[in-house]
Amino acid sequence: MPVPVSQMWTVSTYVLRQKLAGRKQYPLVLMLEPLFRCNLACAGCGKIQYPAHILKKDLSPEECFRAVDECGAPMVSIPGGEPLMHPQIGEIVEGLVARKKYIYLCTNALLLKEKIGLFKPSKYLTFSVHLDGQREEHDLAVCREGGYDIAVDAVREALRRGFRVTTNTTLFDGANPKSVRAFFDEMMELGVEGMMLSPGYSYDKAPDQKHFLGRARTRRMFRAILSNRKKEWQFNLSPLFLEFLMGKKTYPCTPWGMPTYNVFGWQKPCYLLQDGYAETFAELLATTEWSKYGTESGNPACANCMVHSGYEASAVHATFNSLGGFLATVKGTLLSRYRDDEALRMLEEPVVAVHPLVQIAATSETLQETRV
């Protein structure tokens, strides 16, 4: 089981309470970015390109707690930047554990062994270690030779000390499905609790604008990777979100499901886009023109997006929206290995490493792909 029963219970009862209250827009995971600084400079990242005076800023623990209390989501993901570079990260995590929030501290793990003494093992705390594939693929993605070995060593140490550990992996164009599947084997052998996946998103600030996936290629790649699954693989994601990535389901984006709070305030409308900021979560919900976002909206910035922060909450919503959704989730979790002979054949196709690829908010030619 990739997630403890207590966490599943907390999240399920929370969602059911929202439904009984008739709430259509409710947060599931708060994306809390306490800083943008990082000790890596990954080619696909849009967070570290801010000017120095912004990169120097930190959210205080009190600002973090206020946002968490105001939002009310049962889970808090702490990305960044690199959260372990925050001078008060231990205090922030301790305060969130005291609030019984399930925390995913997203880290590249370069500092994890050095800082691990700041934390106590808890069912509420998971280190979500950023690993973008096997050694060569990961080091290339994070532009740091040796990054994989440091991260894997830190994962071992965290597991040895009794912490919950997952991986989070962003896949870009040119990812080799066979290698990704071998990476899953490596991670499960390492002993992580589960794995998270997302296709990359074309941040306009990211230095590499060539290797982001369009929707049709995203579906094809995830079909090759996630069909014919090994029973050992555990994913720390909704099975319906994985089916969405494989092209078996379609969902609208629900960006309020994973709202973002950072040094600028509550970001409109989502983790990826910056169409302004609100001072409070209530203001974010009330003043964002939600109909302008999501694939169906026709907004070119959303056209090729299938990222976790936009669509996993949609998949969770689908689980609780009907008996069919619930049964599909149970089947996806416990029973289905997604047998697919065509997907097996796709694993043997040569991987084309470089495309002049889809840029979001790009030309009509690139948007063609979305309609495939």
Residues engaged in binding ligand SF4 (CB under 6 A): 253, 255, 269-270, 272-273, 293-295, 301-302, 305, 307, 309-310
Least distance CB 273 / ligand SF4 (angstroms): 5
Least distance CB 116 / ligand SF4 (angstroms): 32
Distance from C-alpha of 194 to C-alpha of 188, rounded to nearest angstrom: 8
Q: Which structure tokens are listed for 228?
A: 């014919």
The CB-nearest residue to ligand SF4 is: 310
Going from the C-alpha of 198 to that of each of 14, 33, 35, 57, 132, the distances in angstroms are 24, 18, 22, 27, 10
Given a contact cutoff of 8 angstroms between Cβ atoms, the answer to whether 266 and 279 are in contact is yes
Distance from C-alpha of 45 to C-alpha of 43, rounded to nearest angstrom: 6
Least distance CB 79 / ligand SF4 (angstroms): 14
Least distance CB 254 / ligand SF4 (angstroms): 8
Closest CB to ligand SF4 among 263 and 301? 301
Distance from C-alpha of 171 to C-alpha of 90, rounded to nearest angstrom: 30
Closest CB to ligand SF4 among 108 and 295? 295
Q: What is the 3-state secondary structure (H, E, C) of 37-73?
A: CCCCCCCCCCCCCCCHHHHCCCCCHHHHHHHHHHHCC
Closest CB to ligand SF4 among 141 and 270? 270
Least distance CB 309 / ligand SF4 (angstroms): 6
What is the CA angle 233-227-172, rounded to 5? 85
Closest CB to ligand SF4 among 227 and 309? 309
Q: Which structure tokens are listed for 291?
A: 């109909």
Closest CB to ligand SF4 among 196 and 302? 302
